[in-house]
Amino acid sequence: MTEPTHFDTGAREWDQRPTSLQLAAVPPRLLAQVPFAATDRVLDFGAGTGLLATAIARHVAHVTALDSSGPMLQVLREKGFANITTLQQDIFDGLPERYDAIVSCMAMHHVPDTRALLQAFADALQPGGRIALVDLYAEDGSFHGDNAAKGVHHFGFAPDALQALAEQAGLQGIAFTEVLRMHRSNGREYPLFLMTGHKP
């Protein structure tokens, strides 16, 4: 029996956290920048309680909400979206289909091997498929504070390094825009990027 994670124990209150309330600005900004088609089948990596999945599901055919936390996905299921399927597994355990787009918000920094993660994304995309990934720009570790307890493996990301890994994985047209500035109780601001690109 493994210990419950920070996400398992926090799932019921997740959407009311100050951080989640600020992150609610991300889905409309992502949707304004990234085109989706009504026929698209989308993977949300680290979907949690569905911050992105529930917004995107209104514009596409289907969203697979992948997360290793059962309690986070239970909260998402209770939101009652007919075209969202939850998938409780690790991202590296193999994926059941190829997707037209892969999205993610604030999950990449929880995965130790970013190179393998971007390769898994590239492998899971249809030709022409797109990525739209949101996470922290490089910071000093003060965003989460208790990084070990929260399973944080990266203090944000440098765009150049991420772009190089994405291109090595076979993705093209990589671009970054600042999508949100988060305010924390330590009085500091932390910018978040939206990374876009596609598989040729």
Ligand X SMILES: C[S@@+](CC[C@H](N)C(=O)[O-])C[C@H]1O[C@@H](n2cnc3c(N)ncnc32)[C@H](O)[C@@H]1O
Instruction: Report the site for ligand X in 130-189 (rule: CB under 6 A).
Output: none
- Rounded distance, CA 153 to CA 80, Å? 32
**Site string (53-72) toward ligand X, x via CB under 6 A:** -------------xxxx--x
Instruction: Give the strand order in the sheet containing 99-105.
Output: 84-88, 62-67, 41-45, 99-105, 125-136, 189-198, 172-183
Residue 108 C-beta: closest distance to ligand X, Å:
9
Pairing of strands 84-88, 41-45: unpaired
- Rounded to 10°, the helix 114-124/159-168 angle is 50
**Site string (91-130) toward ligand X, x via CB under 6 A:** x-------------xxx--xx-------------------
Q: Whose CB is nearest to ligand X?
A: 48
Under rule CB under 6 A, residue 10 binds ligand X: no
| Positive or negative: CA dihedral 131, 137, 138, 141 | negative
Residue 110 C-beta: closest distance to ligand X, Å:
4
Nearer to ligand X, 160 or 190 (CB): 190
- Is-contact 78 12, C-beta < 8 A? no
Residue 162 C-beta: closest distance to ligand X, Å:
17
Under rule CB under 6 A, residue 51 binds ligand X: yes
